[in-house]
Amino acid sequence: MISVAKVQRRNAWRYYVRGVAFGDGRRPVGQSFKDAQEMAGLPPGRWLGRGLAALGLAAGQVVTERQMKLLFGEGRHPDSDRLERELLDDGVDPATARRATVLGQPIEEIEQRKQTPLLALDLVFRPQASLIMLWALGDDRTRRIIERAHERAVAATLRWLEDEVAQTRWASGRGRAKAPALVVAAFRHNDNRNGFPLLHEHCLIANRVQRPDGSWYALDTVRLYKNIVAADTLYTLEMTTEVCEELGLATVPREVTPGLRPVMEIADVDQELIDWSSTRRRRIEDVLEGITDDYVKKHGRLPGERARHGLAWWAAQETRPDKKTPRPLDQLLAWWRVSALLKFGQRTVDELLQRCQAAGAAIRARVRPWVDTALATVDVAAVVFTVRGIFYRRHVLAEARRHLLETLRGRAYVPGIDSHIANRALERYGRQLTVPQKGRRPPAADQLS
């Protein structure tokens, strides 16, 4: 599952190096970025994305505090200090040397227009609650498999965003170009602000990408926002499939929010275990119920998809606890295990994986390891039309991925079958409503309604 937040204003990067990169804790004053992460037992932030090559960086390199300030605080090259020094040594004047390290339009020019610059988007990737429980209470092998699947699913989703979604824009959006190279700083977290298990990854996507001519412009963040649901379903599909195949598990639908689509959770993970780690979720749901009632009284209707996201964000902010003191993963694992043993007993905890594998074996024995694409095409088209009426390819693609999750129950799928199903649904059961206009840029295939 993926949530999105904006990183705005020049000092927003401080929040990430003082809190987010420190495990949602409060980093001690005067302590170095590296020492704080080591004390918290957290892996250092790492660079991801194809855009690193243009910056002289490599995937997997450690993110430093200075690089965070330069890129996400000033919109400059992460290695600006060295580049600027070399230019000064060559006799370039200081102002020109500094301008040469700026990626795209300077932040100062944006602020002079009384606008707030958008420096990055924070995409937070997290698995389903049942997978988090297996990760927190399982043995070392189970934990490694889940972490590896999470890393690969994050990487696959970022690649898809680069291949299919990322664009740069200029001239107030009138000019656009493909930008298949993002610059991402990723930070791993192990728990939530209450100290309960919550494996998740903060991926800060810089709001600067290259045009084909090598110049740097803003990322089309609106387009990225619109494709988040399709990216979410891809991450969930990739992660769930790999874990189920490696451990012999299967999934079952479970209603999380009444009235919304069910979530495909690992079969036979006790609901009481999920509730034990979801204390904040229950508080959010209580607040969300109240503000949703207020919305209905004010507008006379239920909130739509966009309004629901806004209300959920507001409820999350209202219930957000104070920052905590981060602890290393080995300490957290010991505390989680003792807490679960005291609440549920040794048998429930120790036999969790075996129960899930037994339930998975029963489900996998009766679920065919292939997909009827003709039936999937009809099902996807019917669901999208019923829910939306007017839709874009991204909605059909997201539904195709949900169909694979619900049909295969964790079994492996043929790569690219999601796009195949979406394309067939559009060709056979879709009618194009977008009318290209003479003299205007023709819309891309995924922008046609």
Show the beta-strand stretches assigned E in 94-196: 118-125, 167-170, 175-178, 184-191
Would you say residue 7 lies in a domain?
yes
pLDDT at 252: 94
For 187-220, give the secondary structure using H, E and C: EEEEECCCCCEEEEEEEEEECCEECCCCCEEEEC
pLDDT at 114: 83
* pLDDT (tens digit per residue) in 20-70: 655 555 555 666 666 666 666 678 889 999 999 999 999 999 888 889 889
Quick one: tokens of 414? 């043929």
Q: Which domain holds residue 108?
A: 2-224
3-state secondary structure (DSSP) of residue 231: helix
Give the pLDDT mean for 236-240.
Answer: 96
pLDDT at 127: 94
pLDDT at 406: 94
Would you say residue 42 lies in a domain?
yes
Give the pLDDT mean for 196-206.
Answer: 91
Instruction: With cut-offs at 50, 70 and 90, classify the pLDDT of residue 432.
Output: confident
HSE at residue 79, side-chain half, CA atoms within 13 A, is 13
- At residue 355, does pLDDT exceed 90? yes
Least confident of 138-147, 318-327, 336-345: 318-327
Distance CA 199, CA 154 (A): 13
CB 199 within 8 A of CB 189: yes
- What is the dihedral angle through the alpha carbons of 108, 110, 114, 118, rounded to the nearest 10 degrees? -110
| pTM of the predicted model over 0.95 | no
Would you say residue 371 lies in a domain?
no
Would you say residue 262 lies in a domain?
no
Would you say residue 422 lies in a domain?
no
Would you say residue 36 lies in a domain?
yes
Would you say residue 117 lies in a domain?
yes
CB 369 within 8 A of CB 412: yes
Give the pLDDT mean for 217-239.
Answer: 93
Would you say residue 326 lies in a domain?
no
pLDDT at 151: 95
Interhelix angle 129-137/329-344, rounded to 10 degrees, is 100
- Core vs surface per residue 49-58: b (16+ CB within 10 A) or e: bbbbeebebe
Instruction: With cut-offs at 50, 70 and 90, classify the pLDDT of residue 286.
Output: low
Domain count, the chain: 1
Return mean pLDDT, the chain. 85
- Adjacency order of strands within the sheet including 167-170: 175-178, 167-170, 216-219, 209-210
pLDDT at 112: 85
Tell me which residue of 135, 162, 316, 159 sits closest to 235, measured CA to CA.
159
Which residue intervals of 161-302 are DSSP H helices?
Answer: 221-226, 228-247, 271-277, 279-299
Give the pLDDT mean for 103-119.
Answer: 85
* pLDDT (tens digit per residue) in 154-184: 999 999 999 999 988 776 556 678 888 899 9
